[in-house]
Amino acid sequence: MSAKAKIGVLVMALLEDAYNKTAHMRPAATEAAARIAAALGEYGTVVHAGLVEEEHQAAAAARLFNAEDVDIIVAVELAYTKGIVPARCFLDTTAPVLVWNTQQIARLGESDGFDVVMLNSGMAGMPELTAVLIRTGRDFSIVTSRFDDPAGRQQVREVIQAAAVRRRLRTAKVGLVGHPFEGMTDLMFDALSLRQDVGPVVWPVEPETISVRFGEIPQADVDALVATERGRYRVDMDPGVFERSARMALALESVAREQHLDAFTAFDQVWLSDPRVGIIPSYGTGRLCEIGIPAAPEGDVACAVAQIALQELAGQATTLENYVIDFENNAVMFSHDGHGNPALAVPRGVAVKHSIYYQGVAGFGAGFEFAYEPGPITNLALVTTGESRWRFVISEGELLPFPPRPISAPQTLFRHDSLPIDEWCNAWLMAGATHHMGAARGRWTRHLLELARMLGIDAVVV
């Protein structure tokens, strides 16, 4: 995973007040709080507020979490705590909350005394803590587990990872060159709504900027990239056009880095008639994905955003598009003309070929042709459902072995884990999925559901 979360740790216990007289437990409780903070340090950078017993300490914890700009607050009660204590922290903060209902022991032993109870009875205060969150309208996740339970720790990890992706999205900048492909209704959206509800800002990049940069790339850099790619891939196209495509790839990378873009999309056809460029940029946008700048074709900002989320979780992501249903194999072919992430291809199976779709004034530009490596896959479509409401449409399955067809495109065959392919198609379409989707190796549904909850958007799992 790319992003590391900053984790606010709020560990609480009521030890001493006018009626309770268990202050002798403070050293042990402080040690237990430190142990919890250390365990959470495996998942990110910890901001530990120390043992919190009273309301003024919760207020100080809130100030600390705000000052450190934490991505998530993990709240734990070692023993019963008056609800007003966590309320003070939650009312003064806005970060997502994970309630970890945990204890050190699996059960109370026959010989265990009150001191053991004091450090393992957080469940006593949980109804007050969660009721405070519900009554104040604060969304939260909850995990109940023994402290050292691997399954519980994995659930905690997933929630924290989702919080890190939320931070990434809310600070992301997506470059849009030109405009979305004309007439594609699922590419139409309110950019301010995206910024408000999902996070990324959409930043216009003039086609002229890249056309000018195209001419400024040193020939030595172009020659070096051409040599590198010929050593990695089978390049089956006119050498001069491939050199032009390599120059375009370097121009895209240069502008993306100069403008601090976290993702990129373009109306790819905008340069076809420009004599300075004159080709489709599919090779260059696929290369952006490989080097860590998620890119989507055709000005599809939402698909680029979906790829940011998946890249943060899986390390690499790509664009896929529904192509041909394979009823005999209970699957569907995914592809996209020329564009795809070669880092996800079958090893040593990548070819660079000229486009068979788009001819510019300088010829048919380069794109990729390969099969995606078989294995588990998660698909994510980020969609609008009317009135600027956003939704994740998520699906998991397997990519099957698929010898690539000669169509100048990355390609694969997807089979859902349980649904027949006709039912999967029906459900995917009924959920409002777009015709492009982000995809990444692995299984990330639970992370994405947590992320959607933290963002306050809808999610449908197909």
**Residue spans per domain, the chain:** 5-160, 173-461
Crossing angle for the helix pair 282-290 and 239-258, to the nearest 10 degrees: 50
pLDDT tens-digit map of 94-104 = 999 999 999 99
3-state DSSP assignment of residue 14: coil
Q: Which of 282, 309, 245 is nearest to 455 (CA)?
A: 309
Query: Is pLDDT of 1 > 60?
Result: no
Whether residue 444 contacts residue 310, with contact meaning beta carbons closer than 8 Å, is answered with: yes
- Residue 54 predicted with pLDDT over 60: yes
Compute the C-alpha angle 179/183/186, nearest 5°: 85
pLDDT of 2 reads 61
Sign of CA dihedral 366, 287, 252, 379: positive
pLDDT of 133? 97
Using only the alpha carbons of the chain, give its radius of gyration: 26
Q: How confident is the model at residue 3 (pLDDT cuts 50, 70, 90)?
A: low
Element containing residue 426 per DSSP (H, E): helix 421-430
Which CATH architecture describes the domain 173-461? 3-Layer(aba) Sandwich (3.40)
Dihedral over alpha carbons 212, 218, 219, 220 (to 10 degrees):
-160
The average confidence (pLDDT) of the chain is 96
Kindly tell me if the per-residue pLDDT of 161 is higher than 90.
Answer: yes
What is 5-160's CATH number, 3.40.50.10940, 3.40.50.300, 3.40.250.10, 3.40.50.720?
A: 3.40.50.10940
pLDDT, tens digit, 9 for 90 and up, residues 300-342:
999 999 999 999 999 999 999 999 999 999 999 999 999 999 9
Residue pLDDT, tens place only, 356-409:
989 999 999 999 999 999 999 999 999 999 888 999 999 999 999 999 999 999
What does 266-329 look like in DSSP terms, one character per residue? E-GGGGTT-TTT-S--HHHHHHHHHTT--EESTT-HHHHHHHHHHHHHHS--EEEEEEEEETTT
Question: What's the confidence (pLDDT) of residue 113?
Answer: 84
Strands 375-384 and 390-400: what pairing? antiparallel
β 390-400/410-416 pair status:
antiparallel
Q: Which of 45-49, 116-120, 214-218 has the lowest mean pLDDT?
A: 116-120
d(CA 290, CA 129): 45
Q: Please give the model's pTM, rounded to 2 decimal places.
A: 0.94
